[in-house]
Amino acid sequence: MARELMHFINGERVSGDSGRFGDVYNPNTGEVQAKVPLANAQEMRKAVEAALSAFGAWSAMNPQRRARVMFRFKDLLEQNIDELAHMLSAEHGKVVADSKGDIQRGLEVIEFACGIPHLLKGEFTEGAGPGIDIYSMRQPLGVVAGITPFNFPAMIPMWMFGVAIACGNTFICKPSEKDPSVPLRLAELFMEAGAPAGVLNVVNGDKQAVDAILTDPDIKAVSFVGSSDIAQYVFAQGTAHGKRVQAMGGAKNHGIVMPDADMEQVVNDFLGSAYGSAGERCMALPVAVPVGDETADRLIEALTPRIKNLKVGISTDAEAQYGPVVSAAHLDKIKNYVAKGVEEGAELLIDGRDFSMQGFENGFFMGPCLFDRVTTDMVTYEQEIFGPVLQIVRAKDFEEALRLPSEHQYGNGVAIFTRDGDTAREFASRVNVGMVGINVPIPVPLAYHTFGGWKRSAFGDVNQHGPEGVRFYTKIKTVTSRWPQGQREDASFVIPTMK
């Protein structure tokens, strides 16, 4: 019998009241392993009230004491990483080693948040005018929320709540209903680290919960990661209700392969970046752009046998290179995209649609696929497939290769593979994409930098984590002060210039 999950509100797990539940599957077997409650607006409001109640004391706590909670939380993450990784793999399907990477990249943002006192310092100008000083301070917003996707159920919640809470805000996380157990466990560990009740809440749900977040007047900011259409909706609705919003959307990242690239390294990089985590990454590299037919032919010749030898397995198989996708519906969506690519005239060199895992025939497994001669007018090129499918788009020269990612609707990440520094420098300078890798296939910045794409990959002006995250979760207050020195001035009716 499937177990029933709960919400985490005001420091404890609580049952759902809405009467609505979603299924949480084991992607390896296709079986329902849990029921997750889907919150209504009233349940979301309980979490908001808990966060409001906790905000006063938490925001008044000095920054280094909040940072100590982050230090203890970091230690608990490291102590419990095996438990968390297996929990994550059981609901998402990614192999355990990849799940540990998911947790590690979130943990790195928690490490960054441990140094938050330095980043919360304001500015000071002495003697801006006669006896006048000006100083600024960064203050938390209040209750903030994060709406997180299924593909990184540990990393992305920590990207959001780590910085937000360290800055003095209280937080409500609405995780994906497909794999909610890890965020719930993170909230418990955060309490164990010393956070007061109500500082971090986890409310499960679907669109009802999302809309409750977007319309609640006491939620001051919303961070979102998901598909571009929903990101645009979240941004429009959230800003219409007076909130700060950062909404990260989809991607179609290109890997430009110059004729002088190290082909062996290129093949290794594409294998990991296109097929790792079954392609369910917004920073995956699903489009290869070899420059020149000779480069394309060499790339295909080197890639083909390696792709055919990829090991697909259950998520606990230590030798598997990737596991199942997250759901039956998503598996069907990927297969439909592959069929559409064939219909559009692309050459399907490797077809993984008929893959079946012996002993796990009902699992959501998809073999690797490889397309050649994909063109820019194809739907499968324009849209994000989000599966283990690599498409090859041939470019005749550098300028065409530069235009492809620059003109695509998405602008999350891009990579170029070359030995020529001048080519790499020009590409990085000119390409119309937010994150660039030079001989780095997945250019996700480290925690003390910032993550964010361009175009339909991101809505809003401020990126995630790093200094940008601190700016997003705080507001600036500027104080101009003067202390009386015994001589009063006459009334002035013009704007002061502080000459």
Q: Are 103 and 155 in contact (CB under 8 A)?
A: yes
**CA of residue 12 relative to chain centroid, distance:** 26
pTM (two decimals): 0.94
Q: Which residue has the higher pLDDT, 489 or 82?
A: 82
The first and second tokens of residue 285, run together, are 């590299």
Q: What whole-number percentage of the chain has pLDDT above 70?
A: 99
Could you tell me the CATH superfamily of domain 254-438? Aldehyde Dehydrogenase; Chain A, domain 2 (3.40.309.10)
Q: Is the pLDDT of residue 347 over 80?
A: yes
Tell me how many degrees the CA angle 142-147-148 measures, rounded to the nearest 5: 130
pLDDT on residue 495: 78
Tell me the mean pLDDT in the region 360-365: 97
Residue 361 CB neighbours (<10 A) = 10
Output the CA torsion sign for 61, 69, 156, 118.
Answer: positive
pLDDT of residue 2: 85
Average pLDDT of the segment spanning 463-472: 94
If pLDDT is split at 50, 70 and 90, which confidence band does 76 have?
very high
What is the mean pLDDT of the segment spanning 115-121?
Answer: 93
- Listed in sequence order, the residues at least 6 apart from 247 whose beta carbon sits closer than 8 Å to its beta carbon are 222, 223, 224, 225, 231, 232, 234, 235, 238, 458, 459, 460
| pLDDT confidence of residue 485 | 75
Q: Tokens 């669109």, residue?
A: 207
Mean pLDDT lowest among 22-31, 417-426, 481-490 = 481-490
Summarize pLDDT for 235-274 with one digit per residue, the tens.
999 999 999 999 999 999 999 999 999 999 999 999 999 9
- For residue 497, what pLDDT is reported? 74
| pLDDT tier at 487, thresholds 50, 70, 90 | low
CA–CA distance, 257 with 10 (Å, rounded to integer): 51
Distances from the Cα of 268 to the Cαs of 277, 348, 389, 394, 487, in angstroms?
15, 21, 15, 19, 76
Rounded to whole angstroms, how far apart are CA atoms 274 and 286?
5
Q: Which of 58-67, 197-206, 486-495 has the lowest average pLDDT?
A: 486-495
For residue 130, what pLDDT is reported? 87
Tokens of 466: 């790093």
The sheet carrying 3-4 orders its strands as 3-4, 31-37, 21-26
How far the first Cα of the chain sits from its last, in Å, is 77
Q: 85: which 2 tokens?
A: 């990784």
Average pLDDT score over residue span 161-175: 98
| Residue 207 pLDDT exceeds 80 | yes
368 pLDDT higher than 90: yes
> How do residues 212-221 score in pLDDT, each as one tens digit?
999 999 999 9
pLDDT number for residue 161: 98
Angle (CA) 87 89 92, round 5°:
110
Q: Are the beta carbons of 463 and 411 closer than 8 angstroms?
A: no
Mean pLDDT (whole number) for 105-127: 95
Domain ranges across the chain: 3-249+457-479, 254-438
**What is the pairing mode between strands 410-411 and 454-455?**
antiparallel
Share of the chain above pLDDT 90, in %: 95
Q: DSSP class of residue 276?
A: G
Residue 488 above 80 pLDDT?
no
- Name the CATH architecture for the domain at 3-249+457-479: 3-Layer(aba) Sandwich (3.40)
- Look at residue 153 in the predicted model and tell me its pLDDT: 97
Give tens-digit pLDDT for 122-160.
999 999 988 899 999 999 999 999 999 999 999 999 999
Residue 328 has pLDDT above 80, yes or no: yes
Q: How many CA atoms lie within 13 A of 475 on its CB side?
A: 11
Give residue 484's pLDDT. 79
Q: What is the mean pLDDT of residues 478-485?
A: 89
Q: How confident is the model at residue 440 (pLDDT cuts 50, 70, 90)?
A: very high
- Assign 168 to helix, strand or coil: coil
pLDDT at 327 over 80: yes
Q: What confidence score (pLDDT) does residue 493 get?
A: 77
- The answer on pLDDT for 498 being more than 70 is no
Residue 254 CA to residue 76 CA, distance in Å, equals 37
Task: From 400, 401, 402, 378, select the one nearest 389 (Cα to Cα).
Answer: 378
User: Is residue 415 helix, strand or coil?
Assistant: strand
The band of 483, judged by pLDDT with boundaries at 50, 70 and 90, is: confident
**Three-state secondary-structure class, residue 374:** coil
Structure tokens, 407? 């003109």
Model confidence at 356: pLDDT above 80: yes
Supply the mean pLDDT for the chain.
Answer: 96
| Catalytic site includes residue 282 | yes
- Which residue among 114, 167, 173, 282 is the active-site one? 282
* Residue 29 reports pLDDT greater than 80: yes
